[in-house]
């Protein structure tokens, strides 16, 4: 089984669930659920490790309550943490407001660089087989160059922070796999149709691209190959969409780590995303995650 290194910022999620609507200005709304969980980039690393994949995680955590909570979650999940304590920088925190229809976030994060020691980054990349990160980090740090130098497979996700298509466009040819949702695919390609966007994106990366489409499942295409449609997998009553994209990425990476076929990787992604949306949070420890 191939080893995976995830590179991303983390945050501590304060999750308010069961809200019948989002509050209007000056209004207070009560829900039926509250929990404090690891979130952000930690979601994919935690779920991947819980799938039985040897997982390392490069992140930046403050020496505070939120940072310690994330460390404990990573440790319990079996993730090897590669972290520098940043006492002057507090760990990011997000308040997640979840309704039956959607979710909203109020977040806090102090400025700071995820990667300050490029020699340590190179050592971490050299010590793995697959690197998973976000497009924005690939544009800001020498992750693609180091992956190419050491022959490591590079998988990239897309976030709402990756809002500069021209800047990100130059990164795609250096990536093996790209994953994003329909909105992110449209942003990067200028195409309104998800299949047209996928066709362009799969031709810009080395191996393949995936567009997730919420309840409609996902579509994927290996470079030069045929379109693959993966329906959403119903694993129980829907509760919360927070972290579904991170879960899909973890499932897909679990397949890649086992050298499975591209369609099987998409199926793993759908299975894990379908499992995560049956509970609150992006990597809820109460869920049973299949290790095979």
Q: Quickly list DSSP for 79-103.
A: -EEEEEE-TTSPPPEEEEEEESS-E
pLDDT of residue 116: 86
Could you read off the pLDDT of 85-106 as tens digits, one per residue? 666 689 999 999 999 888 899 9
Residue by residue, DSSP assigns 160-177 as: TT---HHHHHTTGGG-SE
What is the pLDDT, as a whole number, of residue 162?
A: 67
Average pLDDT over residues 46-71: 95
Asked if the structure places residue 292 within a domain, the reply is no
**Buried b or exposed e, range 86-96, using 16+ CB within 10 angstroms:** beebbbbbbeb
Position 114 in a domain? yes
Q: The domain that contains 150 carries what CATH number?
A: 3.40.1190.20
Which pLDDT value is given to residue 41? 94
Helices in the chain by DSSP H: which ranges?
A: 42-50, 65-77, 118-126, 135-140, 143-150, 165-169, 182-189, 194-204, 244-257, 262-276
Give the pLDDT confidence of 150-205 residue by residue, as tens digits. Answer: 999 999 998 866 657 777 778 999 999 999 999 999 988 999 999 999 999 999 99
- 135 assigned to some structural domain: yes
Sheet containing 103-108: which strands, arranged edge to edge? 33-40, 10-19, 93-99, 103-108
Q: 199 lies in a domain?
A: yes
284 within domain boundaries: no
49 in any annotated domain = yes
Provide the pLDDT for residue 113: 85
Q: What angle do CA 249, 253, 255 make, to 5 degrees?
A: 125
Does the structure show a pLDDT above 90 at 53? yes
Phi, psi of 163 (to 5 degrees): -110, 15
Tell me the per-residue pLDDT of 16-49, one tens digit each, with 9 for 90 and over.
999 999 999 999 999 999 999 999 999 999 999 9
Which pLDDT does position 188 carry in this prediction?
Answer: 87
Domain region containing 107: 4-276
**Residue 39 burial (CB count, 10 A):** 29
d(Cα 74, Cα 41) in Å, to the nearest integer?
11
pLDDT at 217: 96
Q: How many CA atoms lie within 13 A of 238 on its CB side?
A: 16
Question: Is residue 145 a contact partner of residue 103, using CB atoms and an 8 Å limit?
Answer: no
Query: Of 280, 181, 273, whose CA–CA distance to 289 is shortest?
Result: 273
For the chain, give the percent of residues with pLDDT over 90: 81
- Confirm whether 124 is domain-assigned: yes
Would you place residue 282 in the very low, low, confident or very high pLDDT band (cuts 50, 70, 90)? very high
First to last CA, the chain: 11
Q: Tens digit of pLDDT for each residue in 247-258? A: 999 999 999 999
Task: Give the global pTM.
Answer: 0.94
Counted domains in the chain: 1
Tokens matching residue 288: 């049973």
What is the distance between the alpha carbons of residues 290 and 292, in angstroms, rounded to a whole number?
6
Question: Is residue 58 in a domain?
Answer: yes
Q: What is the pLDDT of residues 127-157, one digit of tens each?
A: 999 999 999 999 999 999 999 999 999 999 9
- In the prediction, which pLDDT does 170 show? 84
Tens of pLDDT, residue by residue over 227-244, are 999 999 999 999 999 899
């Amino acid at each position: 089984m191939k080893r995976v290194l995830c590179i991303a910022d983390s945050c501590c999620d304060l999750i308010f669930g069961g809200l019948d609507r989002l509050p209007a200005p000056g209004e207070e709304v009560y829900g039926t659920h509250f929990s404090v969980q690891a979130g952000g980039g930690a979601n994919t690393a935690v779920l991947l490790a819980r799938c039985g994949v040897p997982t390392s995680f490069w992140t930046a955590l403050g020496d505070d309550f939120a940072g310690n909570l994330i460390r404990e979650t990573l440790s319990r999940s079996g993730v090897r943490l590669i972290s520098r304590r940043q006492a002057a920088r507090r760990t990011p925190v997000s308040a997640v407001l979840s309704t039956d229809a959607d979710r909203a976030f109020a977040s806090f994060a102090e400025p700071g660089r995820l990667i300050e020691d490029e020699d340590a980054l190179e050592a971490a990349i050299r010590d793995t087989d697959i690197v998973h990160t976000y497009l924005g980090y690939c544009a800001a740090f020498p992750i693609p160059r180091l992956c190419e130098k050491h022959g490591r497979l590079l998988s990239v996700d897309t976030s709402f922070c990756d809002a500069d298509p021209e800047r990100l466009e130059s990164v795609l040819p250096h990536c093996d796999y790209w994953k994003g949702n329909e909105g992110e695919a449209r942003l990067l390609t200028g195409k309104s149709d998800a299949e047209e966007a996928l066709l362009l994106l799969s031709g810009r990366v080395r191996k393949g691209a995936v567009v997730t489409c919420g309840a409609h499942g996902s579509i994927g295409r290996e470079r030069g190959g045929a379109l693959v449609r993966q329906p959403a997998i119903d694993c129980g009553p829907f509760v919360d969409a927070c972290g579904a994209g991170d879960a899909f990425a973890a499932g897909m990476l679990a397949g890649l780590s086992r050298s499975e076929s591209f369609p099987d990787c998409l199926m793993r992604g759908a299975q894990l995303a379908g499992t995560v949306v049956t509970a609150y949070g992006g990597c809820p420890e109460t869920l049973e995650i299949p290790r095979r």
